[in-house]
């Protein structure tokens, strides 16, 4: 977890959950696993338990303490919708995102069925907010296309696709209801190569459908050398962002303390310490 990130399409990462398990071919060379396992057994290190999944409630309120507006990749070291993460913990994370609404959040999952179910029920209050973007990974047809359908059927204001690592030609996509596409190749030792012929049709489909397109990288063993230009151009497009005012430092501190305290005592929706505007929204949505 970090207030700065080297990932091209975000500013910061926030990890109230650490660790995960593999679910599809896109996970084969999971960078989070490689990183976390390096520190297994290192006493006192955040990844002392390697890539074993665990909740990190002390990180729950972190975005409320960040006083400048950022784009935040939620759970870069895990998958928020992993079945070992309890509903009430996911709801508490969503509530922090709803409260600290001067940031933009990017939530990316490979567990799209659970995303769809929760966004249509317990997380409806967060799904309807434009500053929270919900995305699924689409590495191939077999796993990626059903995830797209789940995403399209989820009650989300902003939906995106992370087509990364792109492992095959995924052909023509139905981009209705999709607000952003990231495309990238795999990097690091043993990286599976990506073909230009798989990327160009995706760029062109985005252009025709008016979907912002972000080309992250070609990848490969030496990703810096391969770069991120496509046909001589850098593609850095994003959906438009909403801007909300930053809560006062005092309100942030009390909201953070309350969310943490309430979570620990088993109450999912802490409202009293939040500012009137946010509180009003949440009461309306949660009721
Ligand atoms: S879902 Fe994401 S974090 Fe989890 S193992 Fe796969 S690539 Fe890694």
Contacts of 178 (CB under 8 A, 6+ apart): 148, 151, 152, 159, 160, 161, 209, 211
Q: Is the pLDDT of residue 166 over 80?
A: yes
Q: Is the C-beta atom of 78 inside 6 A of ligand 1?
A: yes
Residue whose CA is at the smallest distance from ligand 1 atom 6: 27
194-209 pLDDT, tens digit each: 999 999 999 999 999 9
Do the beta carbons of residue 82 and residue 20 sit within 8 Å?
Answer: yes
Q: Band the pLDDT of 175: cuts 50, 70, 90.
A: very high
Q: Is 33 in the pocket of ligand 1 (CB under 6 A)?
A: yes
**What's the token pair of residue 171?**
């052909």
For residue 244, the CA-to-ligand 1 centroid distance in Å is: 31
Q: How far is CA 235 from CA 65, 229, 230, in A?
A: 32, 7, 8
Mean pLDDT computed over every residue of the chain: 90
The percentage of residues in the chain with a pLDDT greater than 90, rounded to a whole number, is 79
| Token reading at 238 | 């994003």
Is a pLDDT exceeding 60 seen at residue 267?
no
The arithmetic mean of pLDDT across residues 5-33, rounded, is 94
* Whether the predicted pLDDT of 279 surpasses 60: no
Q: What is the pLDDT of residue 2?
A: 61
Write down the pLDDT at residue 263.
78
From the CA atom positions of the chain, what is the Rg in Å?
19
Instruction: List the one residue out of 37, 44, 3, 5 whose CA is nearest residue 18.
Output: 37
Of 50-54, 65-69, 92-96, 221-225, where does mean pLDDT reach its minimum?
Answer: 221-225
Ligand 1 atom with the smallest distance to the CA of 75 is: 3
Find the mean pLDDT for residues 150-157.
97
Q: Is 57 helix (H, G, I), strand (E, B) or coil?
A: helix
Q: Does residue 275 carry a pLDDT above 60?
A: no
Which residue's CA lies nearest to atom 7 of ligand 1? Answer: 27
**Residues contacting 189, CB < 8 A, separation 6+:** 29, 221
pLDDT of residue 170: 96
Model confidence at 19, pLDDT cuts 50, 70, 90, reads very high
pTM flag (> 0.85): yes
Rounded average pLDDT over 117-121: 98
Does ligand 1 have an atom closer than 6 angstroms to the CB of 147?
no
Q: Is the pLDDT of residue 271 over 60?
A: no
Angstrom distance (rounded) from CA 114 to CA 101: 24
Q: What is the mean pLDDT of residues 4-11?
A: 85
Q: Which of 1, 13, 23 has most ligand 1 atoms within 8 Å of its beta carbon, as the pocket-test mutant?
A: 23
pLDDT of amino acid 265? 75
Q: Tell me what pLDDT residue 103 has.
A: 97
Q: How far is the CA of 183 from the centre of ligand 1 (A)?
A: 17
Report pLDDT for 1.
Answer: 41
Residue 280 has pLDDT above 60, yes or no: no
pLDDT at 277 exceeding the cut of 60: no
For 109-132, what is the mean pLDDT?
Answer: 97
Q: Which range has the worst mean pLDDT, 29-38, 60-69, 257-266?
A: 257-266
Average pLDDT over residues 117-122: 97
Beta strand pairing call for 132-137 and 213-217: unpaired
Q: What kind and span of H or E run contains 204?
A: helix 196-209
Q: CA torsion angle for 29, 33, 38, 44 (degrees, to 10)?
A: 170
Decide if pLDDT at 210 tops 50.
yes
Ligand 1 contact, 17 CB (< 6 A):
no
Say how far residue 177 (Cα) sits from the centre of its chain.
18
Of all residues in the chain, the percent with pLDDT exceeding 70 is: 91
């Amino acid at each position: 977890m970090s207030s700065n990130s080297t990932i091209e399409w975000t500013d910061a990462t926030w990890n109230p959950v650490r660790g995960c398990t593999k679910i599809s071919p896109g996970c084969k060379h999971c960078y989070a696993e490689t990183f976390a396992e390096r520190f297994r057994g290192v006493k006192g290190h955040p990844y002392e338990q390697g890539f074993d999944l665990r909740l990190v409630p002390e990180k729950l309120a972190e975005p409320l303490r960040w006083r400048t507006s950022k784009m935040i990749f939620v759970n870069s070291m895990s998958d928020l919708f992993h079945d070992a993460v309890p509903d009430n913990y996911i709801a508490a994370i969503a509530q922090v995102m709803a409260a600290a609404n001067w940031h933009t959040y990017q939530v990316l999952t490979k567990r799209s069925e659970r995303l769809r179910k929760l966004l249509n029920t317990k997380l409806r209050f967060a799904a309807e907010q434009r500053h929270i973007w919900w995305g699924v990974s689409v590495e191939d047809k077999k796993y990626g296309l059903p995830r797209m359908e789940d995403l399209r059927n989820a009650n989300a204001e902003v939906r995106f696709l992370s087509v990364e690592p792109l492992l095959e030609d995924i052909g023509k996509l139905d981009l209705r209801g999709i607000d952003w596409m990231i495309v990238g190749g795999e990097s690091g030792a043993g990286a599976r190569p990506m073909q230009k012929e798989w990327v160009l049709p995706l760029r062109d489909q985005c252009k025709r459908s008016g979907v912002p397109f972000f080309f992250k990288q070609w990848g490969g063993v030496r990703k810096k050398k391969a770069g991120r230009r496509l046909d001589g151009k850098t593609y850095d497009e994003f959906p438009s962002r909403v801007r909300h005012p930053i809560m006062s430092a005092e309100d942030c501190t009390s909201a953070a303390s309350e969310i943490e305290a309430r979570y620990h005592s088993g109450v999912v929706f802490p409202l009293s310490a939040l500012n009137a505007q946010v509180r009003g929204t949440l009461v309306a949505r949660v009721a």
